[in-house]
Amino acid sequence: MTQIKQKIQSAVHNLAPELIEISRYLHANPETSFQEHKAVARLTAYLDKQGFAVNTGIANLPTAFQAVYGKQPSPAIAFLAEYDALPALGHACGHNLIAASSIGAAVALQQACPDLPGRILIIGTPAEEGGGGKILLARAGIFAGLDAAMMVHPDSRTELVKRTLAMTSIKVTFHGKAAHAAATPYQGVNALDAVILSFNAIGALRQQITPDARIHGIITDGGQAPNIIPERAVVVFYVRALDLAYFEELLGRVKNCLSAAALATGCTADIEVDELVYAPFKPNYSLSNIYKQNLQAFNIPITEGSETEGIASTDVGNVSRVLPTIHPSLVICEAGIPVHSPEFAQAAVSDWGQQRMLIAAQVMAMTAVDLLYNPETLIQVKSEFDNRSRTG
């Protein structure tokens, strides 16, 4: 096994110029959710050239793909590749590095052990930044029958396990009645008042919820002119919580706030809850530990004990509920630089970022080697997954 891992390290070393070029190309051509055509063309052309069986447009998503190598159906290990960018900010979440590290891991593994005792896959997952690509891929059964999935996210610190929050959005359109705001306001029904009351009701609700839960929103339509009583007003809230059952309960309480605001103002409310629910991340400590052991060869300090600190939501959560999944982060910049900032976009194309991308590729490939060549390891990972399912 040590020999294979050494081969992986030298394979990544040889692949480095091309992987760096790919990550720079994605960075220079940022594409937002479901528009990642250039990225997919570049990544799949490379994988095709390396001898992977490539299938683009899986799950009816034109910018999703799957690339497979290996003659034996199982075990099947997936490397997840994100490649979408943010509007205006470009690759300020560093997904160009995620894509390059995941394909690097797979190709290095292929080169180090051409007669793989199993199968490796790269799943190209579009639209992480709004669109929930992985939720749709999971629903379409793309992860069914696979044994483990992994990806490494660049960040300003190195962490092994990060929990994420369940999330969905609620859009509410309040309908009232227009009237002249000075001459005959008493003939109007003020839809904006219903919006204001819903913020106040939700503000009061916030004191009574658990510290992990979040409710936040914006007004997307607040009326047409100050001299018209608004007949229509629209607000969008996101609701989040760490626990799925509590999250469902919270959704109900938020809906009550919205209905109460409509009742108080005499408006009607169209409440639309997005059926795309981001699931909370289900950790797999057995798999994280294997990753950690492989990471230790690179002497990068790890921040531990911050699993639920400063967390948000990601569609990787939905993957983690289908199969054992890890989603660790790796430092690519000074502490304190947040993702989704122009500084982080710079870090995503820096030498530091590229070097860490190459390390992520090696550590993921080495982790996959442990799973593929040591059946006991995979049994342990899977049994943790099954036991955690039972306890929720």
The footprint of Zn ion (CB under 5 A) covers: 93
Q: How far is the CB of 153 from Zn ion (least distance, A)?
A: 6
Q: How far is the CB of 135 from Zn ion (least distance, A)?
A: 15
Q: Which is closer to Zn ion, CB of 70 or CB of 124?
A: 124
CA nearest 341: which of 39, 89, 67? 89
Q: How far is the CB of 155 from Zn ion (least distance, A)?
A: 9
Q: Which is closer to Zn ion, CB of 93 or CB of 106?
A: 93
Q: Which is closer to Zn ion, CB of 201 or CB of 316?
A: 316
d(CA 99, CA 149): 14
Q: How far is the CB of 213 from Zn ion (least distance, A)?
A: 21
d(CA 178, CA 210): 39
3-class secondary-structure state, position 251: helix
CA 381 to chain centre: 22
d(CA 34, CA 62): 8
CA nearest 368: which of 322, 317, 326? 326
| Torsion sign across C-alpha atoms 93, 94, 98, 100 | positive
| Torsion sign across C-alpha atoms 373, 73, 36, 43 | positive
d(CA 172, CA 198): 10
191 touches 232 (CB < 8 A): yes
d(CA 185, CA 16): 69
Residue type, 321: R
Q: How far is the CB of 197 from Zn ion (least distance, A)?
A: 33
Q: Which is closer to Zn ion, CB of 94 or CB of 223?
A: 94
Q: Whose CB is nearest to Zn ion?
A: 93
250 touches 209 (CB < 8 A): yes
Q: How far is the CB of 90 from Zn ion (least distance, A)?
A: 12
Helices (H), 154-243: 191-206
Q: Which is closer to Zn ion, CB of 29 or CB of 341?
A: 341
Q: How far is the CB of 26 from Zn ion (least distance, A)?
A: 13
* DSSP-derived pairing of the beta strands 329-331 and 153-155: parallel
Q: Which is closer to Zn ion, CB of 43 or CB of 93?
A: 93
d(CA 123, CA 242): 26
Q: What is the DSSP letter of 177?
A: B
**86 - beta bridge partners?**
90
Q: Which is closer to Zn ion, CB of 93 or CB of 330?
A: 93
Q: Which is closer to Zn ion, CB of 87 or CB of 185?
A: 87
CA nearest 352: which of 362, 344, 341? 344
Q: How far is the CB of 129 from Zn ion (least distance, A)?
A: 5
d(CA 75, CA 377): 12
Is-cis flag, bond preceding 154, omega within 30? no
Q: How far is the CB of 312 from Zn ion (least distance, A)?
A: 8
Q: Which is closer to Zn ion, CB of 134 or CB of 382?
A: 134
Q: Which is closer to Zn ion, CB of 85 or CB of 209?
A: 85
Q: How far is the CB of 340 from Zn ion (least distance, A)?
A: 6
